[in-house]
């Protein structure tokens, strides 16, 4: 993990704000979003444990997004 440089701004002698470079802010936001996605995935797996699963191909066929493969003539 890289070291982030930041400035702390005070108001009435109390720390109120932190100023960070945009690059560091974007990296922090991306990490938080990744963690939220991971937690949602874990919860979805837990909630759906033991339920049937489907392949992407099965879902596409069910939704009419892909035609079934045709047999080739020899």
Q: Are 9 and 16 in contact (CB under 8 A)?
A: yes
CA atoms within 13 A on the CB side of 72: 1
What average pLDDT score do residues 15-21 get?
96
Q: Are 17 and 8 in contact (CB under 8 A)?
A: yes
What average pLDDT score do residues 28-51 get?
97
pLDDT value for 1: 57
Confidence of residue 74 (pLDDT cuts 50, 70, 90): low
- Helix then strand then coil, in percent of the chain rounded to 5, is 45, 15, 40
Within the chain, residue ranges assigned H as helices are: 22-47, 56-62
What average pLDDT score do residues 43-68 get?
91
pTM above 0.75, yes or no: no
């Amino acid at each position: 993990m890289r070291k982030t440089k930041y400035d702390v701004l005070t108001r009435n002698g109390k720390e109120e704000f932190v100023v960070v470079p945009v690059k560091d802010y974007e990296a922090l936001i991306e990490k938080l979003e990744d963690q939220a996605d991971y937690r949602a995935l874990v919860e979805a797996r837990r909630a759906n444990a033991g339920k049937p699963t489907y392949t992407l191909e099965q879902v596409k066929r069910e939704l009419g997004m892909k035609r079934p493969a045709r047999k080739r003539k020899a």
